Amino acid sequence: MEKMPEPISANYRVELFRMAKKCSTIVRDETSTTNERIELWQDINAELTRFKHALCSKRPIFVVGKKEDGTPARFDILAEFLDKDDDLASFVVLANPDETAIDAYESKVSDDQIYSQEVTEAEVQHRISVSRGRLLPGLVPYSAANVLIRDFQKKWKAPSQQCLNTIYDLLEGLVEEACTITFGRFPSLVGTMRQYAQLWLDDCKHATNRKIDFINSMENRYPFTLDNTAMGEGKLRYLSEL
């Protein structure tokens, strides 16, 4: 019934204002989940889940020594986090009850992607060797750690941009549908209103892109962490596996 056209007012200015208000109300109701309209946010949440795991797929996996069975020993700092992740559990289908979420997730990733995440002990030693200058024995050059971290940090922007583009497309589809519902009786007006709506969406996208660029530049400036507890625990787990 809400898609049925309403009677046209004799005053065209009032009519245009009424239609513009109706169009904005449709968009507002969808974006704020008014009246349990959750379809848009279900699509957005699905994309955010994909983004989170696309970002996690850029993490380093350190290969240090070998296990008792002779296979490479991998130290994955995010394995425990992904195993406990409810979103990941819904993102993949476990083949059997003994399979972990991270196993199921990585089974969806190609070998080339996994190998591109691996950092071997030899690579770390080489990076330290070529970075060493005038240092006391036993100290690791800061530039060596910096380069290893940045090699992975520079991969973060692509998943962020993909997430932004996908959500932009979802909102663009919503706005186009709202314009069609509201101004459908006036074909030339539909095109004009879509054009103005497109300009507004583009402004929002550019503003979000600037935020992404700012966060990305801040993260890539100097390696740091605000979670010293997790860093200490991770270091202890890493040392215990050497």
CA distance readout (Å), 28 to 10, 13, 24, 134, 169: 27, 22, 6, 62, 17
One domain, residues 48 and 111:
no
Host domain of residue 119 = 59-154
Residues 29 and 70 occupy one common structural domain: no
Total structural domains in the chain? 2
Q: What is the pLDDT of residue 114?
A: 47
Instruction: Inform me whether the pLDDT recorded for 84 exceeds 80.
Output: no
> Cβ(99)–Cβ(89) under 8 Å?
no
pLDDT digits (tens, 9 = 90+) for 114-153: 445 788 888 888 888 888 777 666 677 778 888 888 888 8
* Domain end (from 108, 139, 154): 154
Co-location of 214 and 94 in the same domain? no
| 22 vs 30: CA distance, rounded Å | 13
CA distance 113 to 105: 12
User: By mean pLDDT, which of 21-35, 97-111, 173-187, 212-226 is the weakest?
Assistant: 97-111
Q: Which of 130, 154, 178 is the last residue of a domain?
A: 154
Mean pLDDT value across residues 98-116: 49
The last residue of a domain, from among 103, 129, 154: 154
Specify whether 126 is located in the same domain as 88: yes
Query: What is the C-alpha to C-alpha distance for residues 94 and 51, in angstroms, rounded to an integer?
Result: 20
Question: Is there a domain that residue 27 lies in?
Answer: yes
Same domain, 117 and 48: no
Q: 52-56 long-range CB contacts below 8 Å, 24 or more apart?
A: 52/87, 53/82, 53/87, 53/88, 53/91, 53/105, 54/159, 54/162, 54/163, 55/156, 55/159, 55/160, 56/82
**For 72-94, what is the mean pLDDT?**
59
Separation of alpha carbons 24 and 19, rounded Å: 9
d(CA 230, CA 89): 23
- DSSP assignments along 163-202, one per residue: HHHHHHHHHHHHHHHHHHHHHTT-HHHHHHHHHHHHHHHH
Sheet of 118-120, strands arranged across: 72-75, 61-66, 118-120
Residues 80 and 137 grouped into a single domain: yes
